[in-house]
A and B are shown apart, each in its own frame.
Chain A
Amino acid sequence: MLSMLSFSPRQLAAQCLNFGLVLSTAFMLWKGLGIAANSPSPIVVVLSGSMEPAFARGDLLFLWNRGLDTQIGEVVVYNVKGKDIPIVHRVVRRFGGGATPLRLLTKGDNNAADDTELYARGQDFLDREEDVIGSVVGFVPFVGYVTILLSENPWLKKVMIGLMGVMIALQRE
Chain B
Amino acid sequence: MSATTKIAVHSLADLKNTTDDALSNYLTSIKFQRSHRLIDVRLALGYSAVILAGGLFYFDWKHGPQASKPYAGPAVAAYFALNAVFSYWVWMVEKGCIFEGNNTTGNVRILSTSKKYDPTYYLSVTFTDTSGKTDTRDVSASFSRWFTSDGYFVAKPFQQWLASNVPSIGAADPQNIVEEIGRGSAAEETGGVSVEEMLRIAGVAGATGVKSKAGGSGRKRKG
Q: Closest A-chain residue to B54, C-beta based?
A: A24
Q: In the complex, how many residue pairs between chain A and chain B have their CB atoms under 8 Å apart?
A: 66
Any A CB within 8 A of the CB of B198: no
Across the interface, A34 reaches (CB within 8 A) one of B2, B14, B72, namely B72
Contacts of B202 in A (CB 8 A): none
Across the interface, B50 reaches (CB within 8 A) one of A10, A21, A41, namely A21
- Flag the segment in A25-33, A105-113, A143-151, A159-167 that touches B: A25-33
Q: How many residues of B contact A (CB 8 A)?
A: 31
Whether the pair B17, A2 counts as a contact (CB closer than 8 A) is yes
Whether the pair B43, A13 counts as a contact (CB closer than 8 A) is yes
Any B CB within 8 A of the CB of A40: yes
Known: A2-B1, A32-B76. A24 touches B65 (CB 8 A): no
Q: Closest A-chain residue to B78, C-beta based?
A: A28
Any B CB within 8 A of the CB of A72: no
Whether the pair A34, B46 counts as a contact (CB closer than 8 A) is no
Contacts of B42 in A (CB 8 A): 14
Any B CB within 8 A of the CB of A117: no
Any A CB within 8 A of the CB of B171: no
Whether the pair A17, B53 counts as a contact (CB closer than 8 A) is no
Within 8 A of A (CB), among B30-72: 36, 39-40, 42-43, 46-47, 49-50, 52-54, 56-57, 65-66, 72
Any A CB within 8 A of the CB of B26: no
Across the interface, B5 reaches (CB within 8 A) one of A6, A20, A27, A31, namely A6
Q: What's the dominant secondary structure at chain B's contact region?
A: helix
Contacts of B17 in A (CB 8 A): 2, 172
Known: A2-B5, A24-B54. A35 touches B49 (CB 8 A): no
Any A CB within 8 A of the CB of B79: yes
Known: A14-B39, A35-B73. A24 touches B50 (CB 8 A): yes
Q: Closest A-chain residue to B18, C-beta based?
A: A2
Give chain A's interface residues, CB within 8 Å of chain B.
Answer: 2-3, 6, 10, 13-14, 17, 20-21, 23-25, 27-28, 31-32, 34-35, 40-41, 172-173
Give chain B's interface residues, CB within 8 Å of chain A.
Answer: 1-2, 5, 7, 13-14, 17, 36, 39-40, 42-43, 46-47, 49-50, 52-54, 56-57, 65-66, 72-73, 75-76, 79-80, 83, 86
List, sorted by A's number, 24 A–B pairs whose CB atoms are closer than 8 Å: A2-B14, A6-B2, A10-B36, A10-B39, A10-B40, A13-B43, A13-B47, A14-B43, A17-B43, A17-B46, A20-B47, A20-B50, A23-B53, A24-B79, A27-B53, A27-B56, A28-B56, A28-B80, A31-B56, A32-B76, A32-B80, A34-B65, A35-B73, A40-B66
